[in-house]
Amino acid sequence: MRRQPALVGAVVTACLLLLATNSDHWRSISTRGLPTLRWSAPQSELYSNLCGPTSIQNSEDLRLGTRTQPTDLGTTTPSVPYALGSDLKVGAHTWGYSVLDRLYLRNGTFYIVTSDRDSLPTKAEIIHRLGRISTQGDEDDEGSELVKYISPAESRGVLGDFATVISGVSFLILDPPRYLAHFFHYWGEVLLGAWRVYSSLALSSDPSLINSLPFPSRFVFPFVDNGEWRDRADLNGPLMRLAFPDVHIVKSDVWGDWIKTGGTIVFERSVTVNRVSAHKSSLASIWFKMLSSTQNITVPNQFWEPIRKSVSQQLWGYAPQVTNSGRPASTPRLAPNPDATGIYDSLPIVTYISRQTTGRRLIDSHHEELVAALRLLEIEGVCTVRIPVMEKLTLKEQLAEVASSTILLGVHGNGLTHQIFMPPSLRSAVIEMQPPGDYAFDYWMLARNMGHKHFMVQNDTVTTYRPGEWHNGIHIGENFHSNNIPVSGSVVADLIRERLMQMEEKVED
């Protein structure tokens, strides 16, 4: 767990900027001079430090194949004598995201019992700060007071003779509510990153192992009161129920109860998340996303599928798939969809998430030309086009729009987060529109994790990258959030036609 001092300055500046702007994005930051790191595609030879073979072994401890039942934290937390003094085990780890077995908690402090501290992640790598802007320099801040390392010999004196066992898998979200209360940040970064790192435990020659990875029993938000983690559109909460139907959401009140018990608690298996730590990874200075550090962890192909399938299962009773021809294998029917003619239901579905009722949007006439060009594709018999206005639809209707789509199209914005519920398929793609010259990695990164191809359309120019390659740096210009983003409708239509009509062997990853 060596730190990388040369990069720390740049990264800290970047972190502070992120915290100071309170926007989805950083102002433009040059990435020149930073190392080029290869994207770690599934099956590549890259492993992060602590995953790979170690984690496969650990997964055997985990009663794979059985879904751990949640403990009822409200009433019957089992007070089982638990042998203290055994070393913490690291299942997988990267900056800001760690899978830790036997993490102790007492009086609001996490204790890591270890006889070999040097082999473990540093505090700063697990949790650095609670997202506050600190006036301290980086060197003053060696990690939060929240974590302490003790030796097995010390543990009895500090932790006592026994602990209350919190069984199963606990996702410990060690962040204040600020970024949690946002659909993209919560689902596309916190949860996706945690699940990605956790899913590395299911790396195996047996690709179906990912389907039996136990779901988390609880999410713990120690620094969140009441509904502070919920987003304005109110997607975060209901989606949690759909993804993890029996998960407990544990917030500051229960955290306070744990402190007041005066005893020691031990989490059988925890997955810790901290935004500031995540941003300290050198990979974060390439993509400027919280998720960056997790991209260096090798994970099973389609690691996200258990979650998409769970959500789909709860909504439709099955998980829609799309065939190699781009056609939906079956389409959920429900939504009063004014655009659906019903005639073309067996054609590939292109969903254009219009932002024309919001601030950041296309020039109105360009939007109209784009819609006309898409309607021509329908007349040609290339695809069915849906143009939902997400903010007017219920959650179920919103997900129905993308549940069996092949292509998701939209101006850079939250609507493109819906791609995490679009089935990965040979031709699946996200087409993002940004002003000429601008580039942000948010939805490119989501698409790469989901197994969708990502295309950036800047007016009449299309940019795309193969696995292992990416755009050089981000640029958020003054037009980025404007209401007059230009786009050539015919360029977008040509791109869609090619993606859907080209021969299978020509379709690019």
Ligand X SMILES: *[C@@H]1O[C@H](CO)[C@@H](O)[C@H](O)[C@H]1NC(C)=O
| Interaction site with ligand X (CB under 6 A) | 37, 46-49, 107-108, 281-283, 296, 436, 459-460, 486, 488
Query: 145 vs 505, which CB is nearer to ligand X?
Result: 145
Query: 19 vs 159, which CB is nearer to ligand X?
Result: 159
Q: How far is the CB of 40 from ligand X (least distance, A)?
A: 7
- Kindly report the length of the chain: 509
Cα–Cα distances (Å) from 291 to 96, 112, 431, in that order, read 9, 25, 20
Query: 170 vs 282, which CB is nearer to ligand X?
Result: 282
Q: Could you give the 3-state DSSP secondary structure of residue 469?
A: coil
Q: At what angle do helices 192-199 and 442-450 cross, to 10 degrees?
A: 40
Cα–Cα distances (Å) from 222 to 130, 173, 227, 243, in that order, read 11, 7, 13, 21
Cα 244 to chain centroid, rounded: 15
The one-character DSSP state at 301 is T
Query: 46 vs 130, which CB is nearer to ligand X?
Result: 46
* 316 vs 175: CA distance, rounded Å: 33
Q: How far is the CB of 179 from ligand X (least distance, A)?
A: 22
**For the stretch 70-103, what's the b/e string if a residue is b when 16 or more beta carbons lie within 10 angstroms of its beta carbon?**
bbebeeebeeeebebeebbbbbbbbbbbbbbbbb
Q: How far is the CB of 224 from ligand X (least distance, A)?
A: 19
Q: How far is the CB of 393 from ligand X (least distance, A)?
A: 31
Query: 46 vs 249, which CB is nearer to ligand X?
Result: 46
29 contacts 14 by C-beta, under 8 angstroms: yes
Q: How far is the CB of 107 from ligand X (least distance, A)?
A: 4
Q: How far is the CB of 54 from ligand X (least distance, A)?
A: 12
Query: 262 vs 342, which CB is nearer to ligand X?
Result: 262
* 418 vs 420: CA distance, rounded Å: 5
Encoded tokens for 83: 């042998």
Query: 436 vs 477, which CB is nearer to ligand X?
Result: 436
Encoded tokens for 297: 């962890």
Phi, psi of 189 (to 5 degrees): -125, -60
Q: How far is the CB of 114 from ligand X (least distance, A)?
A: 21
